[in-house]
């Protein structure tokens, strides 16, 4: 097994493949996909398709098939989680202080904080084919689901380029594709990321983790917005790791689980309570 890493989408992306040559080929495919989708979905780039769409809120806008596909998936996710996952939290994220690239937020270069207002306007978003109509004053943030979706497509691209199997890890959002062996994945301790909480063995599909202790810039200030309040979540959980067949779905489920404050009842998961307790809902096997 051979791993290679690079920076994209505001995080570290790593690619694991059977041998150095495969890893190199996989990295080329995965990097190309990540760069293309970052240019499309970034809310920090004024020239991204997302920024254009948000500027056009209030009037019907024609979008690319890829953009329409991710918006459709985001709206399905909002329905299936009853709004716990909400692609219209954009303004709430800005109001909480995450209004520019996270490195700049950490450096203290934040805009003015604004009072939180409940979200939930995803029910008013209309998508007909490739025509998207955002109501006036409603803006999209596809960050998490777009990252998971990109990891899914990137893994498929690598397999399409002839790599036997690949694991794409986009900042903790993992997707395995091809004829992969069982791969051990360490779930990080949210208070000490260099320590393992537990270890999962992944054979197929995807794992994603959402945490209120990552991308946090102060006490109670973090990027996981509770759509019910429009403020950073006050969940009793600090971290949720969820398995799903695709990375986009795992990302949605992990976020919804964190906001709901309970384990996902349908998917294997590892959740960490603010008390320090860790709850694992998955089959157990003996270590080799």
Partner 1 sequence: MTTEPVRRARWPKRRIQVLAWFSGAATVLAGGAALATDPPVAPSRPARSERQRAAEVHVIRRIIVVDPPSAPPQPQTVTVIAPPAVQPAPAPATTGGS
Residue 210's closest CA among 199, 194, 222? 222
Sign of the alpha-carbon dihedral angle for 271, 268, 89, 55: positive
244-273: contacts with partner 1 (CB under 8 A): 245, 263-268, 270
Q: By C-beta, is 9 or 63 nearer to partner 1? A: 9
Q: How far is the CB of 63 from partner 1 (least distance, A)?
A: 25
Q: How far is the CB of 156 from partner 1 (least distance, A)?
A: 17
Show the binding pattern over residues 173-212: x = contacts partner 1 (CB under 8 A), - = does not: xx--------xxxxxx-x--x--xxxxxxxxxx-xxxxx-
Q: Are 192 and 275 in contact (CB under 8 A)?
A: no
Q: Which residues contact 46 (CB under 8 A, 6 or more apart)?
A: none
> What is the b/e burial string over 72-82, where b = at least 16 CB atoms within 10 angstroms of the residue's CB?
ebbbebbeebe
Q: How far is the CB of 67 from partner 1 (least distance, A)?
A: 21
Q: How far is the CB of 121 from partner 1 (least distance, A)?
A: 24
- 173 pairs with which residues across the strands? 170
Q: By C-beta, is 261 or 268 nearer to partner 1? A: 268
Complete DSSP assignment for 132-143? EEPPTT-----H
Q: How far is the CB of 233 from partner 1 (least distance, A)?
A: 13
Q: By C-beta, is 61 or 178 nearer to partner 1? A: 178
Residue 131, φ and ψ in degrees, nearest 5: -110, 120
Q: Which residues contact 51 (CB under 8 A, 6 or more apart)?
A: 42, 43, 45
Please state, in angstroms and rounded to a whole number, the distance separating the CA atoms of residues 114 and 64.
33
Show the binding pattern over residues 108-147: x = contacts partner 1 (CB under 8 A), - = does not: ------------------------------------x--x
Does 90 bind partner 1 (CB under 8 A)? Our answer is no
Q: Which residues bind partner 1 (CB under 8 A)?
A: 1, 3, 11, 14, 16, 144, 147, 167, 169, 171-174, 183-188, 190, 193, 196-205, 207-211, 213-215, 239, 241, 243, 245, 263-268, 270, 275-287
């Amino acid at each position: 097994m051979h791993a290679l890493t690079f920076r994209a989408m505001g995080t570290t992306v790593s690619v694991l493949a059977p041998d150095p040559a495969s890893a190199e080929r996989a990295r080329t495919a995965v990097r190309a996909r990540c760069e293309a989708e970052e240019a499309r979905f970034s809310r920090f780039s004024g020239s991204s398709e997302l920024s254009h769409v948000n500027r056009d809120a209030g009037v019907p806008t024609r979008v690319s098939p890829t953009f329409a596909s991710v918006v459709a998936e985001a709206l399905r996710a909002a329905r299936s989680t009853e709004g716990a996952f909400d692609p219209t939290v954009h303004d709430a994220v800005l109001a909480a202080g995450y209004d520019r690239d996270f490195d700049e937020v950490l450096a203290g270069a934040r805009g003015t904080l604004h009072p939180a207002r409940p979200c939930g306007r995803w029910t008013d978003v209309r998508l007909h084919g490739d025509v998207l109509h955002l109501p006036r004053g409603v803006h999209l943030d596809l960050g998490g689901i777009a990252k998971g979706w990109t990891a899914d497509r990137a893994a498929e691209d690598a397999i399409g380029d002839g790599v036997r199997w690949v694991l794409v890890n986009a900042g903790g959002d993992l997707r395995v594709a091809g004829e992969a062996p069982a791969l051990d994945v360490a779930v990080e301790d949210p208070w000490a990321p260099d320590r393992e909480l537990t270890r999962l063995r992944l054979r197929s599909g995807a794992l994603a983790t959402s945490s209120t202790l990552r991308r946090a810039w102060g006490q109670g200030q973090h990027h996981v917005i509770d759509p019910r309040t429009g403020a950073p979540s006050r969940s009793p959980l600090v971290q949720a790791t969820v398995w799903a067949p695709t990375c986009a779905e795992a990302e949605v489920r992990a976020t919804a689980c964190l906001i709901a404050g309970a384990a996902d009842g349908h998917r294997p998961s590892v959740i960490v309570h603010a008390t320090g307790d860790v709850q694992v809902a998955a089959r157990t096997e003996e270590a080799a």
